[in-house]
């Protein structure tokens, strides 16, 4: 019977990055992903790297380390992550006070600059000048999340890591000791198992009687094929409602209801924005819903119409582009910080999930995790530990 040093469950960006960092530290690692091609949050992500957005010593450090990693990852992984930097435009609605909105960004490591409507439209000619009172702008990183994930996975294999396409149905062991995982057809043993299954991490841990304050949104977007329209920037609202939704959905009175099978703690939100990838395709979004059932039914036609109407107000040229509605689940935590490290009173089980804006953090945090796994003390991980329940 083979016993791996580490099993990594989930091959999205979190699992792929962590598996790679563990493998290059010399651990024997098995990465288990249920789908042969990605279908989770990483597949539909905008790919934005918000390296300007650190507000505390910890998040500023992680942002600075994260952007440094992104700048060299294409070379290190021998792949093209399509890393680039572009302008982010944060739109301010006509009902909002631009100075007040700008003040909310003053604490960021690189505070975005306030633009008049004319200045914003010069940077992003597709903006509707009548729909905004002003905008903020800052340089923003961008990668193709699927390419970065593939790059990590391929580099992981080259470092001796093994990948199995198989669905983990349960963790092996009891609530106090986890010794690997079971799939429908096989049992895999490991000294340590780390859950990187995004939104599905909660269910896997719950089935093993490991409670965790990890939640998920149902996120909806429209993806277009490569198209002639030229969006110069990433466009998002300055007042991102998703963060409010995440905070409200995890207050104590809602928290205990997350184990109910069919519950919607707070109404859905829509943050109107768009990004164009280097191949010319666009992702336009996004609606976020908190429905406790991972497979809850969503009215796709109604959602698509709402998305098109909301984005059409800000970026009229995008409203009627050909494109397809998609839906996926995105994990988040109760305090916008990821949950990374050992789990309460459980030997052999670890978590690396719950990132609200993971793409800037994951590359450096995966490195921190691997160093810590190799025995080094790590101040960063101590601050992100999921132990405090
Ligand atoms: C529309 C949209 C826009 C976004 N924009 C940004 C952005 O600009 N910047 C940013 O930083 N973040 C953004 N995000 C968030 C970010 O993309 C996600 O949080 C991130 O990709 C999540 O990665 P993950 O590895 O945790 O999850 P996932 O990508 O969902 O990966 C989890 C993997 O685990 C696998 N899995 C689950 N259960 C099992 C099981 N039982 N057995 C085996 N495998 C299993 C799944 O198949 C999946 O591949 C966006 C997300 C969306 C949807």
What is the residue-level pLDDT of the chain in tens, covering all 389 positions?
Answer: 899 999 999 999 999 999 999 999 999 999 999 999 999 999 999 999 999 999 999 999 999 999 999 999 999 999 999 999 999 999 999 999 999 999 999 999 999 999 999 999 999 999 999 999 999 999 999 999 999 999 999 999 999 999 999 999 999 987 689 999 999 999 999 999 999 999 999 999 988 888 888 999 999 999 999 999 999 999 999 999 999 999 999 998 888 889 888 889 899 999 999 999 999 999 999 999 999 999 999 999 999 999 999 999 999 999 999 999 999 999 999 888 899 999 977 899 999 999 878 899 999 999 999 999 999 999 999 899 887 55
Q: Do 39 and 69 have their domain in common?
A: yes
Expressed in angstroms and rounded, the spacing between residue 297 Cα and the centre of ligand 1 is 20
285 Cβ inside 6 Å of ligand 1: yes
Ligand 1, atom 21, residue with closest C-alpha: 42
- Whether the CB-CB separation of 168 and 185 falls below 8 Å is answered with no
CA–CA dist 61, 55 (Å, integer): 10
- Compute φ and ψ for 55, nearest 5 degrees: -120, -10
Q: Do 43 and 161 have their domain in common?
A: yes
Per-residue pLDDT tens digits for 341-369: 999 778 999 999 998 788 999 999 999 99
Expressed in angstroms and rounded, the spacing between residue 329 Cα and the centre of ligand 1 is 7
Q: The domain containing residue 55 runs over which residues?
A: 3-81+145-213+335-384
Q: Do 233 and 365 have their domain in common?
A: no
14 Cβ inside 6 Å of ligand 1: yes
Expressed in angstroms and rounded, the spacing between residue 342 Cα and the centre of ligand 1 is 21
CA–CA dist 388, 224 (Å, integer): 42
Q: Do 100 and 243 have their domain in common?
A: yes
Torsion, Cα 227 85 131 319, to 10 degrees, reads 20
- Structural domains counted in the chain: 2
Q: Do 157 and 284 have their domain in common?
A: no
Q: Do 133 and 8 have their domain in common?
A: no
- Whether the CB-CB separation of 230 and 86 falls below 8 Å is answered with no
Q: Do 353 and 302 have their domain in common?
A: no
Q: Helix, strand or coil for residue 342?
A: strand
Q: Could you tell me which of 183, 204, 182, 186 has the C-alpha nearest to residue 195? A: 204
Expressed in angstroms and rounded, the spacing between residue 362 Cα and the centre of ligand 1 is 12
- CATH number, domain at 52? 3.50.50.60
Whether residue 7 is contained in a domain is answered as yes
197 Cβ inside 6 Å of ligand 1: yes
Q: Could you tell me which of 323, 349, 318, 36 has the C-alpha nearest to residue 174? A: 349
Beta bridge partner(s), residue 113? 137
CA–CA dist 254, 4 (Å, integer): 38
Whether residue 389 is contained in a domain is answered as no
For residue 40, give the ligand 1 atom closest to its CA: 30
CA–CA dist 214, 219 (Å, integer): 16
155 Cβ inside 6 Å of ligand 1: no
Expressed in angstroms and rounded, the spacing between residue 131 Cα and the centre of ligand 1 is 32
Ligand 1 binding pocket mutation candidate from 42, 63, 156, 365 (most atoms within 8 A of CB): 42
Q: Do 221 and 290 have their domain in common?
A: yes
Q: Do 189 and 66 have their domain in common?
A: yes
Q: Do 69 and 150 have their domain in common?
A: yes
The answer for residues whose C-beta is within 8 angstroms of residue 267's C-beta and 6 or more apart is none
328 Cβ inside 6 Å of ligand 1: yes
Strands (E), 226-369: 234-237, 269-276, 282-289, 324-333, 339-342, 349-353
């Amino acid at each position: 019977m083979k016993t791996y040093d580490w099993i990594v469950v989930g091959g999205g960006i979190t699992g792929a990055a962590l598996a790679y960092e563990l493998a290059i530290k010399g651990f024997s690692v098995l990465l288990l992903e249920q789908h042969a091609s990605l279908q989770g949050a990483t597949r539909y992500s905008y790919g934005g790297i918000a390296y300007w957005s650190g507000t505390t010593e910890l998040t500023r450090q992680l942002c600075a380390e994260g952007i440094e990693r992104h700048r060299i990852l294409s070379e290190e992984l021998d792949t093209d992550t399509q890393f680039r930097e572009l302008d982010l435009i944060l739109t301010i609605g006509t009902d909002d006070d631009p100075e007040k909105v700008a003040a909310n960004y003053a604490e960021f490591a690189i505070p975005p600059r306030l633009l008049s409507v004319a200045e914003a439209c010069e940077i992003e000619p597709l903006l509707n000048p009548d729909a905004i009172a002003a905008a903020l702008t800052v340089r923003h990183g961008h990668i193709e999340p699927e390419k970065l994930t593939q790059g990590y996975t391929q580099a992981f294999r080259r470092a001796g890591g093994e990948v199995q396409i198989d669905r983990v149905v349960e963790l092996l062991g009891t609530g106090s000791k986890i010794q690997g995982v079971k799939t429908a057809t096989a049992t895999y043993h490991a000294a340590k198992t780390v859950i990187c299954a995004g939104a599905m991490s909660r269910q896997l841990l719950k089935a093993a009687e490991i409670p965790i304050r990890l939640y998920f949104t149902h996120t909806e977007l429209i993806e277009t094929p490569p198209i002639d329209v030229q969006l110069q920037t990433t466009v998002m609202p300055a007042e991102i409602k998703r963060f409010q939704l995440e905070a409200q959905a995890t207050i104590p009175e809602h928290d205990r209801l997350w184990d109910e099978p069919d519950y919607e703690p707070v109404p859905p939100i829509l943050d109107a924005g768009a990004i164009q990838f280097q191949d010319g395709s666009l992702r336009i979004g996004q609606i976020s819903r908190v429905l406790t059932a991972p497979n809850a039914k969503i009215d796709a036609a109604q959602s698509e119409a709402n998305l098109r109407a909301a984005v059409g107000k800000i970026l009229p040229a995008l409203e009627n582009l050909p494109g397809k509605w998609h839906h996926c689940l995105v994990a988040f935590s109760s305090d916008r910080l990821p949950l990374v490290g050992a789990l309460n009173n459980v030997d052999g089980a670890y978590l690396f999930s719950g990132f609200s804006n993971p793409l800037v953090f994951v590359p450096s945090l995966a490195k921190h995790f691997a160093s810590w796994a190799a025995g080094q003390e790590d101040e960063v991980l101590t601050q992100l530990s999921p132990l405090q329940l």
